[in-house]
Each structure stands twice: as structure tokens, then as C-alpha cells.
Structure 1
């Protein structure tokens, strides 16, 4: 007959795997977020550089083209800011998912540890009882 701790091991292993998977997803999302932040910074830097590079002696057409291009960069910045906000929300959700998975793993591991300790104490009591019985048997002889 298997012990309660042994019976719970598959659940502990499954919880451990879920926690590890959630942690991997969290790490991946952090990388995605970092790339999105970098891309936003690049767009903002490019916009500043492009807007600052305006020549004073330009035709009206060139000025309008430049203005339209800056507006397109501004739109890209707004879109990237929205993407960054979405990535932050995703990171928050994945962090919470990992936290719950890790808490479940910890709880199950704790239960298994308690069962193992109870089993150890029961084995110690049983061994002590056998020793006591043998000692008493020897005394009676």
C-alpha cells in the first residue's frame, strides 16, 4: 500500500510543472515588454531627431511632406504606447498566474512534507514499540 505522500507526488509534480511553465511565460513576456519599450524609445528618439533636422530654406511642399511624416511618426508612437500598455497588462496577468501556480505548488509540497513527517513519526513509534516489546520479552525470560 502506498503512503499518502506517495499518492500526492503526481499532483505535486504537476503543480511544479505548471509553476515552471508559468514562470517561463512570465520571463518571455518580460522580454516582449522590454522590446516594446525599446521600440517606443526608438520611435520617440527618431521623431525628435527628424523634427529637429528641419532646414530653414524648404519649399512649402517639402514642409508639408515633413509635417505629414512627423504626424505618421506620432501615430506610430501612439500605437506603440497602446501596445506597451497591452504588454504591461499581459505581464500583470502572467505574474498573477505564476503567483497562483507557485502558491499551489508550495501548498501541495507542504502537505506532502507534513505527511512524510507523520509517516516518519509513526514508523519511529512503531519501531520503539517493537523495541519495548522485545525488551519486555527478554525480561520475562
Structure 2
């Protein structure tokens, strides 16, 4: 009969793989969030530069064009802020998923370790019983 610790090993291996997959997805999501935050920073920097440039005498049409362009940048910033929020939310979800997968992996590892310890103690008791039995047979001779 196969020891219980060995029968549980495939489940532990699967839990380990799921935790590794969840960790990879978490890392990918962290990169996606960093990229979205970087894009937001670039938009905000561009808006500051564009809004500050061109001060001085300009025509009315140039001023209106500048205001429209700044309004479009502002709209892009609003959209990017929303995107950063979505990416943060997804990151939180991915982190929770990884924590759950990691906890399951750890729990299965602990259960297997307990079974291995139990199996080791049972084997030690069996070996000690064999030794005791041999010693008794020697005494009887």
C-alpha cells in the first residue's frame, strides 16, 4: 500500500503549479500597472509642458486650438486615471488569488510533512519491534 504522503503528492504538485502560475500572473499584472502609471505620468508631464508653452502673443484661433488640444489631453488623462484604477483592482485580485494558491500549497505541504513524520515514526516503531523480537529469540537460544 502506498503511503498517504505519496498519495497526496500529486495534489501538492498541482497546488505548487497553481501557485507558480498565480505568481507569474501577479508579476505580469504588476508590470501592466507600472506601464499604465508611467503612461499617466507622461500624459500629465506633456499637459504641463504644453499648457506652459506658447505663452505670449498668439492669435485667437491658435489659442482656441491650444485649449481644445489641452482639453483632449485632459480627457486622455481622465481615461488613463481610470485605466490605472482598473489595473490596480486587477493587481489586488491577482494578489488575492496568489495568496489563496500559496496558502493551499503551504497547507498541503504541511499535511504531507505531518504524514511523513507519522510514517517515519511508524517505521521506527516497526523496526524497534523487529529488533526487540530478534533480541528475544537470541536470548531464548
TM-score range relative to shorter protein: over 0.9
Q: Which runs of 5+ in 1 are unaligned?
A: none
**Deviations for 1:107-140, whole angstroms, at most 9, x for unmatched residues?**
0011001111110100000000000000011011
Moved >6 Å (runs of 4+):
none
User: Aligned residue for 2:131?
Assistant: 131
- 1:55 positional shift: 3.1
Give the structure 2 partner of residue 32 of structure 1. Answer: 32
SS in 2 for 1:56: coil
Return the alpha-carbon distance in structure 2 between the equivalents of residues 24 and 55 of structure 1: 48
Matches within 5 A, 1:101-112: 101-112=101-112
Residues paired across the two proteins, number = 141
| Equivalent-residue separation in structure 1 for 2:27 and 2:56 (angstroms) | 48
RMSD (Å) for aligned C-alpha atoms: 0.5
Pairing of 1:1-141 with structure 2 (within 5 A): 1-141=1-141
TM-score when normalising by structure 1: 0.99
> Partners in 2 of 1:100 and 1:42 — Cα distance?
35
